[in-house]
Amino acid sequence: MDQLFEPEPPDEGRPGAPPADGPLAARMRPTTLNEFVGQEHLLGEGSALRTAIESGRPHSMVLYGPPGTGKTTLARMTAEHADAAFEELSAVNAGRPEVREVIARARERRRGGRPTIFFLDEIHRFNKAQQDALLPAVEEGLVTLIGATTENPYFEVNSALLSRTQVYELHALSAADVEGLLRRALDDGAGGGVTVDDDALAFLAARSGGDARSALNALELACETAARASEGAGSVTVTDAEDAMQRKAVLYDKGGDQHFDFISAWIKSTRGSDPDASLYYLAAMLEGGEDPRYIARRMIVLASEDVGNADPKALPLAIAAAHAVEHIG
């Protein structure tokens, strides 16, 4: 009789709402495609992926991109639009037994006419045999597989599985996108009465590396620290942001005069055979967010115009470095 009054078990096939006391990054997870920040190349109006999600008829896919770009969120949205059960595993701590359990539950649901979205995080951590175990369920349409990885899937995912999925590459968010997310969080009351300086927001956005999760978590920590220090009110400065993210601000503006001043100083230091100064300006540019491809192009010019025939090997070496940067980063 007592069982009548026990709470019903949660539906493990549904994407759960983040708890009210969960991390800020979880609470700020978008719930609609219109709230999704970045990835316009994939989710722009009329795009194939957006159309598939909004129509509720998704296909199996692999989402490839750096952390904090929305891979998990996109998978959850896909399940919501399709009114599908959402099964989530991480390849870090799951294996073939767990996959078989997911497939068995999907088979039961299909008898009732309900589809299943199977989200497999870190799919590249599965070996060939484990990835092969997914093939029959994907090919049969028993599950719609959404794999997520930070590694290049063309090297880490079996060709047989790739042929049954569509690969979508997510890009790191721009600093402007991240700053917009941080401001949205503050508008939703994430500051808890603490104000945040514009410079601190810009610092968090620039130093996050395009990782929204990292920036939001650092903002939450900075606000909590400032609130404790001032007993409920206060202001988050750049120093507080540095402390929360544990990275020092580099006084470099890649969109201003320093963009030209630092590249000029780097070239002159290199030309003058001053390795310490050359490394300093190079590190300052990279840490400040300068595009490494721009630096590589300037290195080719340096090798051609300033070194020239004094060292015939300099130019081929600079070109090789530029190719490496272009393909690897």
Residues 51-67 have pLDDT tens digits of 999 999 999 999 999 88
For the chain, domains (ranges, CATH) are: 31-169 (3.40.50.300), 175-245 (1.10.8.60), 257-328 (1.20.272.10)
pLDDT at 7: 41
Task: Give burial (CB, 10 Å; 0-12/13-18/19+) of 169.
Answer: middle
- Residue 325 and residue 296 in contact, taking contact as beta carbons nearer than 8 Å: yes
Dump pLDDT digits (tens) for 143-191.
999 999 988 898 889 999 999 999 999 998 999 999 999 999 998 887 7
**How far is residue 36 CA from its own chain's centroid?**
13
> 95 — alpha (psi -120 to 50), left (phi > 0) or beta?
beta
Containing 148, the helix (H) or strand (E) segment is: strand 144-149
Give the other-Cβ count within 10 Å of 45's Cβ.
8
Q: Which of 210, 127, 125, 123 is nearest to 167 (CA)?
A: 123
Q: Tokens at residue 106, please? A: 């999907």
Task: Please report the pLDDT score of residue 164 as a whole number.
Answer: 94
Give the model confidence (pLDDT) of 218-241 as tens digits.
999 999 888 888 776 788 989 889
What pLDDT does residue 60 have?
96
Mean pLDDT, the chain, whole residue set:
87
For the record, the structure tokens of 31 come out as 């719930």
Put the strands of the sheet holding 116-121 in their side by side order: 85-90, 116-121, 144-149, 61-64, 166-169
A 10 A CB-CB count for 9 gives 6
CA-based nearest residue to 220, from 197, 233, 236, 232: 236
Q: Which residues contact 116 (CB under 8 A, 6 or more apart)?
A: 13, 84, 85, 86, 87, 102, 105, 106, 109, 110, 142, 143, 144
CA distance 172 to 253: 19
Tokens of 32: 């609609």
Express each pLDDT in 61-117 by its tens digit.
999 998 889 999 999 999 999 999 999 999 999 989 999 999 999 999 999 999 999
